[in-house]
Amino acid sequence: MEWFAHKWDIIDQLTPFLLQGLWTTFKISIVAIFFGSMLGFILGVLKTLQIYPLEKLINTYLHLLRGSPYLVQLYIVYFVFPSFNISWLNFDSFTAAVVSLSLYTSSYVTEIVASAIFAVPTGQSEASRSVGMTKAQAYRYVILPQALKMTIPPMASVYVIVIKSTAVLSVIGIAELTRQGEVAIMRMPGDIMFIYSLIAIFYFFYCFPVLRFSKWAETRFGSIGIDLK
Amino acid sequence: MSDMMIRIEKVCKTYHVKSRAEPVRALDNVTNHIDRGEVVVIIGPSGSGKSTLLRSLNGLQEIDSGAIFIDGVSVTDKKTNLNLLRSQVGMVFQHFNLYQHKTAFENIVLPQTVVLKRSRAEAEAIANDLLNKVGIPDLGGNYPSMLSGGQQQRVAIARSLAMKPKVMLFDEATSALDPETVGGVLELMRGLAADGMTMAVVTHEMGFAREAADRVIFMDAGAIIEENTPDQFFDNPQSERAQDFLRQIL
């Protein structure tokens, strides 16, 4: 009984503190997901336009971002960018977090959007162009609506990865969930296991609905109307 | 001089295929024409260039040299508004290519509102008429994946007709259909021919060629080997290759 009382006491004390951290995690991840998705969508569409130099440029961008750990990218944005002596690159930690995480997100979204567009059968594009649609009209009315449906399930997985990646931000002093947990552990070092479990549960409550949505979206949008024989 | 709808002048097209050392000569100096209201059936063995020729007529396939004119307008001229030209040339594909995310009805409405800027109401009225005309008045609400091949091809034909095209191109329109649905689609095409539509039809349906064509073009290895009226062509083919081809398929 005493054990439970003790643990309940920790929960009671730490919850507001951890919720603060979760709120920061939420803010940063939402902003990064938003801007990362916008950028990724634009780059993904551009990548499919078959303009050779543009495609090479985007691929280089993707390789750089996907071929290096997020932690290194974060350090570069936060510690290296200011050394360029360009005033607007002198980010505070929150901006550095959002910028680096947005770029990281965009690299995944670009690939998802581009491969979804490529997965729309060429006949769809031919049928659009042969009735006289411009390339832009074919994208707008036929190709993108079909491609975007296919992106929903993989997009949700990326969003969960991004949410979990915010844990790394503790290294530049952002008081997100993991950081708050670590501070709490300094106060109550004897309960390290319990507090980390608590943090994990908080992450779970954020990520689980996203994954559930992904699962739902997969059955709802994954195949409807798209007959990929 | 007759009234030419399609003029094809010395058209050449070469593909470079990685798996083959020699480039493939898909169209070898093809010259021909199709008159207004004429139904021309193009036949030949696979790889003879007939689909390439058909797809070059609306610029879906770029050609290396030569010129193509639809109703006097050059397809190959960079200054031509190719989108406008394509809106006047209907194309029906082997695999239907209906917009998968739209119902049959919306498939017919969409190009009208987007390309021709028709009002929604007008486009819907036309779509309803055409669904009737192609014999599936009750299936407009279905998505393509819920329709049989024959029904999908009817929708595709209706979608093309909604643009009020000057010419209709059929690229093996019945090759992917179940045998029992082929007849209905061919019947529809015969009806169009009888209504005076100018048609270029790539097909393996020799019965259709014989009955509905004004002229048969036989292609092999990217060149037109022989052309004649269907009766003359089928009963008395001149070239050895056409004789071989007909022996094998008939």
Which ipTM score applies to this complex?
0.90
In a domain, A131, yes or no: yes
In a domain, A181, yes or no: yes
Q: Give A-chain residues touching B80 at CB under 8 angstroms.
A: none
Q: What is the pLDDT of residue A224?
A: 44
Q: A220 with B138: CB under 8 angstroms?
A: no
- Look at chain A and count its residues: 229
Long-range contact set of residues B45-49: C-beta below 8 Å, sequence gap at least 24: B45/B220, B45/B245, B48/B219, B48/B220, B48/B221, B48/B222, B49/B13, B49/B219, B49/B221, B49/B222, B49/B223
> Which residue is listed with tokens 């100018």?
B198
Q: What is the pLDDT of residue A97?
A: 95
Q: What is the pLDDT of residue B93?
A: 95
Q: CA A41, CA A23: separation in Å to the nearest integer?
A: 26
Q: What is the pLDDT of residue B15?
A: 87
DSSP conformation class of A189: G
Burial degree of B235 (CB within 10 A; 0-12, 13-18, 19+): exposed
Confidence of residue A228 (pLDDT cuts 50, 70, 90): very low
Residue B199 makes CB contacts below 8 A (sequence gap 6+) with: B38, B39, B40, B167, B168, B169, B170, B189, B192, B193
Closest residue of chain A to B169, computed from CA coordinates: A130
Q: Give A-chain residues touching B107 at CB under 8 angstroms.
A: none
In a domain, A175, yes or no: yes
Strands (E), chain A: none
In a domain, A227, yes or no: no
Contact yes or no for A127 and B163 at CB 8 A? no
β-pairing, B215-220 with B223-228?
Answer: antiparallel
Q: What is the pLDDT of residue B59?
A: 92
Out of A123, A132, A227, the one facing B86 most closely (by C-beta) is A132
Rounded to an integer, the average pLDDT of A164-180 is: 93
Rounded to an integer, the average pLDDT of A141-157 is: 91
Write out the H or E segment, with its range, that includes residue A149.
helix A144-165
Q: CA B199, CA B168: separation in Å to the nearest integer?
A: 5
Mutate to test the interface with B, among A130, A146, A224 (most CBs of B within 10 A): A130
Confidence of residue B2 (pLDDT cuts 50, 70, 90): low
Contact yes or no for B87 and A149 at CB 8 A? no
Q: Give B-chain residues touching A224 at CB under 8 angstroms.
A: 143
Q: CA A146, CA A138: separation in Å to the nearest integer?
A: 11
Q: Would the pLDDT of A66 be above 50?
A: yes
Q: State the amino acid at position B181 in one-letter form.
A: T
Contact yes or no for A131 and B163 at CB 8 A? yes
Residue A104 makes CB contacts below 8 A (sequence gap 6+) with: A32, A36, A65, A70, A73, A162, A165
Instruction: Give percent above pLDDT 70 in chain A.
Output: 96
Contact yes or no for B160 and A131 at CB 8 A? yes
Contact yes or no for B86 and A126 at CB 8 A? no
Q: What is the CATH number of the domain that holds A183?
A: 1.10.3720.10
What is the per-residue burial (b if ≥16 Cβ within 10 Å, else e) of A186-201? eeeeebeebbeebbee
DSSP conformation class of B184: H
Indicate the pTM of the whole model. Answer: 0.87
Q: Would the pLDDT of B220 be above 80?
A: yes
Closest residue of chain B to A149, computed from CA coordinates: B101
The C-alpha of A41 sits at a distance from chain B's nearest C-alpha, in angstroms, of 20
In a domain, A228, yes or no: no
Q: What is the pLDDT of residue B203?
A: 93
Closest residue of chain B to A222, computed from CA coordinates: B101
> ∠ at Cα B169 (B164, B171), nearest 5°?
140
Write out the H or E segment, with its range, that includes residue B90.
strand B89-92
Instruction: Tell me the per-residue pLDDT of B99-158, one tens digit each, with 9 for 90 and over.
Output: 999 999 999 999 999 999 999 999 999 999 999 999 999 999 999 999 999 999 999 999
Instruction: Tell me the per-residue pLDDT of A192-223, one tens digit each, with 9 for 90 and over.
Output: 999 999 999 999 999 999 988 878 877 776 55
Strands (E), A11-142: none
Number of domains in chain A: 1
Confidence of residue A226 (pLDDT cuts 50, 70, 90): very low
Q: What is the CA radius of gyration of chain A?
A: 22
| Domain encompassing residue A140 | 2-221
Instruction: Output the six-digit token pair for B148.
Output: 């049989």
In a domain, A197, yes or no: yes
The C-alpha of B131 sits at a distance from chain A's nearest C-alpha, in angstroms, of 18
Q: Which of A2, A11, A5 minimizes the C-alpha distance to A184? A: A11
In a domain, A226, yes or no: no
Instruction: Output the six-digit token pair for A140.
Output: 């707008």
Q: A126 with B60: CB under 8 angstroms?
A: yes
Taking the Cβ of residue B143 and every Cβ of chain A, the question of whether any pair is shorter than 8 Å is answered with: yes
In a domain, A36, yes or no: yes
Rounded to an integer, the average pLDDT of B20-25 is: 83
Instruction: Output the six-digit token pair for B164.
Output: 């009020």
Please enumerate residues of A whose Cβ is less than 8 A from a Cβ of B: 121, 123-124, 126-134, 137, 141-142, 145-146, 149, 224-227
C-alpha distances in Å from residue A194, one per residue of A6, A11, A145, A169, B159: 11, 9, 46, 22, 64
Instruction: Output the six-digit token pair for B104.
Output: 């049959």
Burial degree of B72 (CB within 10 A; 0-12, 13-18, 19+): exposed
Mean residue pLDDT across chain A: 91
C-alpha distances in Å from residue A212, one per residue of A108, A154, B201: 20, 13, 51
Contact yes or no for A146 and B87 at CB 8 A? no
